[in-house]
Structure 1
Amino acid sequence: MYKDFDRCYRAVQSKDARFDGWFVTAVLTTGIYCRPSCPVRPPFARNVRFYPTSAAAQHAGFRACKRCRPDASPGSPEWNVRGDVVARAMRLIADGTVDREGVTGLAAHVGYTTRQLERLLQSEVGAGPLALARAQRSQTARVLIETTDLPFGDVAFAAGFSSIRQFNDTIRAVCDNTPTGLRRKAAARFDRSTVTAGSVSLRLPVRTPFAYEGVFGHLGASAVPGCEEVRDGAFRRTLRLPRGNGVVSLTPAPDHVDCLLLLDDFRDLSTAIARSRRLLDLDADPQAVIDVLDSDPLLRALVAKAPGQRIPRTVDEAELAIRVVLGQQVSTKAARTHAGRLVAAYGKPVADPIGGLTHAFPSAEELADLDPTHFAGPAARRRALISMIHAVADGEVVLDAGCDWDRARRQLLALPGIGPWSAEIIAMRGFGDPDAFPVTDLGVRAAAELVDLPRDLRALTEHSARWRPWRSYATQYLWTALDHDVNHWPVKEKESA
């Protein structure tokens, strides 16, 4: 979009917040870049340049506006609705792959050479993987500076900087301020009295409209005992992170989500934030979805009732796949029970000083020696579960933030007991494919009947073509038509404890 100058400039003139995260506006006369919705007077068109990311603007020598803070705007929805190599790489960078594995590791994940990947990213987003990771490090550092009392040396290390000097120079260049100055200015905005040691409190921005009841209700109703819970109006869950474990508490509001993170290692902060955003689908573009789905008279009432639905996603693609197998042809309550047994038996213990969480959801590797007695399901589903676990653990099925959606679907469908319903639910909630459509889902079929959509599967599939590329969101809107626990927020806390 950033290449369409006239469209971008109209968005800046109207201060349209819907375009925050789609591009940034750099002003040649000031050397500053802003969100499209920045409240300052719009600059003259001749003095404006548009960039696709904050990293690209920083790479070109511009610094972030102190008023609208474009580096803290919602992420671009583009990277979550595309399955090409650039989008896959952007999702992996957000997950911290460059800091953990370097550019070589990032390239290996997407199946390209480092030179090819750098050329693709530079061409499309205006910055290479190192510059993109640098922008992410600076934002992580800013969060830690403003919301914790950590010494600046610890902040630099946690954010991924190799030296204090590099940390100081980057903060000055990006924020036009020193770390001390940022912390002093933030003192009035952030209440640290409720933040405990090892924790970070922040707001996750979101594009409106935001019908949070749908996504939070679904996550709360399917909460796995020991791993997830609803407490004091927040959805809480454990996180298995690259350098340790963590606990996240997420409390919704109409235009943001309050997020409290307790981490074993602050170097996992950016990854924990990215996964929390992914869990709630916070980088979605709800207006683009509404514009398409509202054009169908049979969906219009559902869209109008609660516009801005989000997909209840996951913090770990492999975990979601395992949970989908556990939930095949059983109730939500039974699926929670099965998953809770696995968590208690194989999950690593997690400390939760402010709640009742006890374990992280076990990885496929930790479940590789699963005792069949811990899963009291039919033999066919037991075989499907074991096959899924071994395929993920052995790398036969690749499920991560940067996986190839089409290839992963084929790999899943080749496993015993994994049919179209399982593959589409995993694609929808695990990969974040916006056009996945579990047409055989009982909830989809029941909701379709309620709103007079075709009952025949082939006819319903043909009708769904008009919802593309947003059939996953159409599925979520259809689910809201049902009288089911997933549509109630807040849920009764005793049901998810």
Structure 2
Amino acid sequence: MLVSEERAHRAVASRDTRFDGCFVTGVRSTGIYCRPSCPARTPKPDNVEFFPTAAAAQQAGYRSCRRCLPDAVPGSPEWDLRADLAGRAMRLVDDGTVDREGVSGLAARLGYSTRHLTRVLTAELGASPLALARAHRAHTARLLIETTGLEFIEVAHAAGFASLRQFNETVREVFATTPTTLRDRADRRTAPDELPAGTLRLRLPLRTPFDAAGTLNFLLAEAVPGVEWGSSTHYGRTLRLPRGTGSAELVPRREHIAATLRLTDLRDLGSAVTRLRRLLDLDCDPVAVDEVLGTDPALSGAVRRAPGIRFPGSVDGPETALRAVLSRGLPPEAAISSTAALVEALGEPVRGIAESTRARLFPRPEEVAEHAEPVLSHQPGGGTALRALAERIAADELRIDAGRDDVELRGELRELGGLDPVTAEHVTARVLGSPDSLTPDEPVLLRGAARLGLTPERAELTRRARGWSPWRSYAAMHLRRIGATHPHPGSEEPPKPEEANAEEGRK
């Protein structure tokens, strides 16, 4: 587990919400497992055991607590901290890889045999790949049961179950109740029958504090018209998913994100939720991040002004890489303009989004490889580098997803994709959600360091950043925000976060 057993006992005794999702507590006397902050009476220490995942607790014979709903919590930040096989496997399991490709497909993606993968996950996480996938399906099923009016056979199909019987048995085993009872008890704020087919409204839990304004402004500063839209209070974008397409509109609330999803295939729900959580970095442990960064006198002021800063991730690895190459060497406005032209020419229209009548999907690598150069003929190089990268992705010579090893992906991007070190690191960090990535060659980081009183030299910034580990990605976000703003005349005080966000959005 991410925490020691002693610390887990303290978290349960204090009902510390910060640890929800980091582990679950199995109570032997009741046979249930709970989140650490469960409001029920604290069990005696001798009566509990801890599990790193809900799947491990289920495999040990425990059922989910009906009161605290331990699956409805932010995910563990451990999967981003861990770059090992277990961490990479969990990211792919959460994305639905086992449901789509089986355990053999998961093992092939990770480069190991099925037997070895099963042995490692059972030893490290207390559950096999099939058990982990089953827990993920159960969570998706509960979301659909409680937030939609779908028939249960449709819920079973959308959640990835092979049959209605398997769906019913899993719900009874995991939640100790029937699907009908779950639906009857659900507190549905919006009548599901009033929503169009394929539309879902969900709450995406998060850990507080959450720098909502800064996160939205960061995403909107690089937003491509048609693919993304939003304002100071919400963000939306189109989605290319494993089985279909869709869109998402996200509105930050105090302790969750209100999400409206439109999906052409409901089986993509689990993947869509996982990718949106990674995009907004909702599984981050902001208290741990701020504790480490706040101890550095140079960063302490920035941490106080923007508590809970996030490192936004990616919903689509190939899109992130292609956009990074297309933007390389261009001013922000020119990069957005070129990308928008590519999307307008090659992107597939998406219907049913009232706020954006010209909504489109980012084009597939195959389409970019074949048709991008005429669209970008005005650009230096005519999109040659972009086409070369798209061809490699389309030919499956370069796979860019959340299950990749960071060292291997970074190396392949530089070798096969021909990317410079800064761009390769940027793509790797965003796709994998790496919490400890910082590229001291970025001019904006050096500028931000100088404005905080640090020596604006690569070697010095590298040395100073060692003390920010394992959260250097978040330190880099602070430096980018400060470096992207113009200092106030006659003042050395960095601008306030709302001023920095506004300037970042204009850029």
Q: How does 1:319-334 map to 2 (within 5 A)?
A: 319-334=319-334
Equivalence for 2:489: none
In the aligned structure 1, how far is the partner of 2:371 from the partner of 2:286? 41
Pairwise CA distance, 1:380? 4.6
Tell whether 2:9 aligns with 1:4. Answer: no
Q: Which letter does structure 1 place at the counterpart of 2:270?
A: S
Change (3 A) 1:77 1:2: closer
Deviations 1:223-279 (A, max 9, x none): 111111116932110110111101011111232111111000000100000011011
In the aligned structure 2, how far is the partner of 1:212 from the partner of 1:279? 13
Change (3 A) 1:371 1:205: closer
Equivalence for 2:476: 475
- Asked if the contact 2:436–2:469 (Cα under 8 Å) also holds between the matched residues in 1, the reply is yes
- Asked if the contact 1:247–1:352 (Cα under 8 Å) also holds between the matched residues in 2, the reply is no
Equivalence for 2:199: 199
Higher relative contact order (CA 8 A, sep 6+): 1
More off after superposition, 102-111 vs 58-67 = 58-67
More off after superposition, 47-56 vs 391-400 = 391-400
SS in 2 for 1:366: helix
Equivalence for 2:459: 458
Pairwise CA distance, 1:373? 2.6
Pairwise CA distance, 1:378? 4.7
Change (3 A) 1:229 1:33: same
In the aligned structure 2, how far is the partner of 1:177 from the partner of 1:368? 51
SS in 1 for 2:218: helix
In the aligned structure 2, how far is the partner of 1:81 from the partner of 1:377? 42
Tell whether 2:24 aligns with 1:24. Answer: yes
Tell whether 2:93 aligns with 1:88. Answer: no
Tell whether 2:291 aligns with 1:291. Answer: yes
Pairwise CA distance, 1:368? 1.8
In the aligned structure 2, how far is the partner of 1:371 from the partner of 1:258? 36
TM-score, scaled relative to structure 1: 0.94
Pairwise CA distance, 1:416? 6.6
Q: Which letter does structure 2 place at the counterpart of 1:454?
A: T
Change (3 A) 1:177 1:64: same
- Asked if the contact 1:383–1:416 (Cα under 8 Å) also holds between the matched residues in 2, the reply is no
Equivalence for 1:151: 151
- How many residues matched? 494
In the aligned structure 2, how far is the partner of 1:469 from the partner of 1:340? 35
RMSD: 2.2
Equivalence for 2:397: 396
In the aligned structure 2, how far is the partner of 1:377 from the partner of 1:300? 45
- Asked if the contact 2:213–2:232 (Cα under 8 Å) also holds between the matched residues in 1, the reply is no
Pairwise CA distance, 1:190? 4.7
Pairwise CA distance, 1:136? 0.7
Pairwise CA distance, 1:66? 1.1
Tell whether 2:252 aligns with 1:234. Answer: no
In the aligned structure 1, how far is the partner of 2:110 from the partner of 2:359? 35
Change (3 A) 1:459 1:274: same
Change (3 A) 1:30 1:416: closer
In the aligned structure 2, how far is the partner of 1:408 from the partner of 1:127? 27
Change (3 A) 1:227 1:409: same
Deviations 1:363-421 (A, max 9, x none): 21221203413125654583322222122222232211101110111111225751121
TM-score, scaled relative to structure 2: 0.93
Q: How does 1:165-244 map to 2 (within 5 A)?
A: 165-192=165-192, 195-230=195-230, 233-244=233-244
SS in 2 for 1:201: strand
In the aligned structure 2, how far is the partner of 1:146 from the partner of 1:416? 44
Change (3 A) 1:223 1:416: closer
In the aligned structure 2, how far is the partner of 1:3 from the partner of 1:313? 24
- Asked if the contact 2:372–2:387 (Cα under 8 Å) also holds between the matched residues in 1, the reply is no
Aligned-pair identity (%) = 47
Pairwise CA distance, 1:442? 2.5
Equivalence for 2:430: 429
Deviations 1:158-195 (A, max 9, x none): 11111111111111111122111111111455554763
Where in structure 2 are there 5+ consecutive unaligned residues?
487-496
In the aligned structure 2, how far is the partner of 1:161 from the partner of 1:343? 36
Deviations 1:113-132 (A, max 9, x none): 00100010001111111111
In the aligned structure 2, how far is the partner of 1:460 from the partner of 1:236? 35
User: Once superposed, which parts of structure 1, at least 4 consecutive aligned residues long, lie more than 4 Å away?
Assistant: 187-191, 482-485, 487-492
Change (3 A) 1:254 1:483: farther
Change (3 A) 1:40 1:21: same
- Asked if the contact 1:16–1:36 (Cα under 8 Å) also holds between the matched residues in 2, the reply is yes
